[in-house]
Amino acid sequence: MSEHAEKQARSAQSASREHVKKPGWLTVNVLNRAVAWMTRRGLSVWGSRVLAVRGRKSGEWRRTPVNLLTVDGRRYLVAPRGHVQWTHNMRAAGGGQLHLGKKVEEFTATEVADDDKPAILRAYLKRWKAEVGVFFDGVGPDSTDQELRAIAPKHPVFRVHPADGR
């Protein structure tokens, strides 16, 4: 593991203990299920996909709905609720699958350094603030880079790369 990757992992472990916002009953039992149901049928809701990533302990595929963000032609997965199970699994697996209907895209992922997150977090909040803004401690798309950088350690961001390297 590179020095940068080790530093990110230590930062993530520290932040994960202090910042995990669990979704409420409505989100888990209604919203996530509805978005996942539509996405499984090929209907993307504002960039929605179903993320499949192998569990770091079990090796079993774990699935969760996510919002796939594109910024300057690059694609990202942002964890609005903080260091949750899929982010830990992503670090261990180094990639996974994005599902939209019957289409399955294999990918590898690299974690984005905290200093490189402000523009990505700003774009994410611009697009999905109504859905996820409550998880960002009052920081929004109009916040300064300094404010976005301050919350960056709490929100893992992964750059998505096609598995075929394109």
Please report which confidence band the pLDDT of residue 16 belongs to, taking 50, 70 and 90 as the band edges. very low
Residue 76 near residue 112 (C-beta atoms within 8 A): yes
Q: Please report the pLDDT score of residue 17 as a whole number.
A: 46
Above 60 in pLDDT, residue 7? no
The model carries a pTM of 0.79
pLDDT digits (tens, 9 = 90+) for 53-108: 999 999 999 999 899 999 999 999 999 999 999 999 999 999 999 999 899 999 99
Q: Please report the pLDDT score of residue 37 as a whole number.
A: 74
DSSP string, 92-150: HHSEEEEEETTEEEEEEEEEPPGGG-HHHHHHHHHHHHHHHGGGGTT--TTS-HHHHHH
Contacts of 4 by beta carbon, 8 Å cutoff, 6+ apart: 113
What is the C-alpha end-to-end distance of the chain, expressed in Å? Answer: 24
Residue 160 near residue 46 (C-beta atoms within 8 A): no
- Domains of the chain (ranges; CATH) run 3-162 (2.30.110.10)
Residue 12 near residue 41 (C-beta atoms within 8 A): no
| Cα 80 → chain centroid | 7
Please give the residue that has the higher pLDDT: either 74 or 24.
74
Q: What are the two backbone dihedrals, phi and then psi, of residue 158, each rounded to the nearest 5 degrees? A: -120, 130
pLDDT digits (tens, 9 = 90+) for 124-159: 999 999 888 889 999 999 999 999 999 999 999 999
d(CA 40, CA 52): 12
Above 50 in pLDDT, residue 15? no
